[in-house]
Amino acid sequence: MYHTIYISPIGPLRLVSDEGGLRQLWLPNEIEEKICPQGWKEDADFSINRLIAARLDDYFAGRRVAFDDLPLAPHGTPFQQAVWQRLLTIPYGEISHYSIIAQQMGKPKAVRAVGGAVGRNPISILIPCHRVLGRDMSLTGYSGGLPIKRALLALEKIAYRP
């Protein structure tokens, strides 16, 4: 694995990738909590890390609204992968709800399982779990903390109920 720190307006992010694509994006609180395993190589010049950093520059500057051209390669169960694929369909500046995602997947009773998969998304921001709100438009949990979620929603001009 190749990793690097990307300095963003919401704090430092760790990009973790290999030849297959971006595997993880650690939010600021995760950088504080996690330790890179032995054998990982710090490399800001690794091609995927450079590409992701450039796309994040564009996102935070308001010039990029989609990431469908990126080599995203998160590890997860087939169900988690299906939920993360569904998250990728939520357009910039729009939101969804856990129940809607469950219905779209043909599993309307799997709302809690969808919530669990959303919470385990290893590539936050690029797989936009911050765009998932409660049915009443309230903020729900976010692995990076609610202040980060609020900042991302503000960047995309998404209204929510405080």
Contact status, residue 125 vs residue 70, Cβ threshold 8 Å: no
CB atoms inside a 10 Å sphere around CB 28: 17
- Which of 106, 83, 2, 1 minimizes the C-alpha distance to 45? 2
Please indicate whether residue 129 is annotated as part of the active site: yes
What is the chain's alpha carbon radius of gyration, rounded to the nearest angstrom? 15
Q: Which of 56, 114, 126, 129 is catalytic?
A: 129
3-state class (DSSP) for residue 161 = strand
Tokens of 55: 């796309």
The neighbouring-strand residues paired with 123 are 25
Mapped onto helix, strand or coil, the DSSP state of residue 65 is coil
Could you list the active site residues? 129
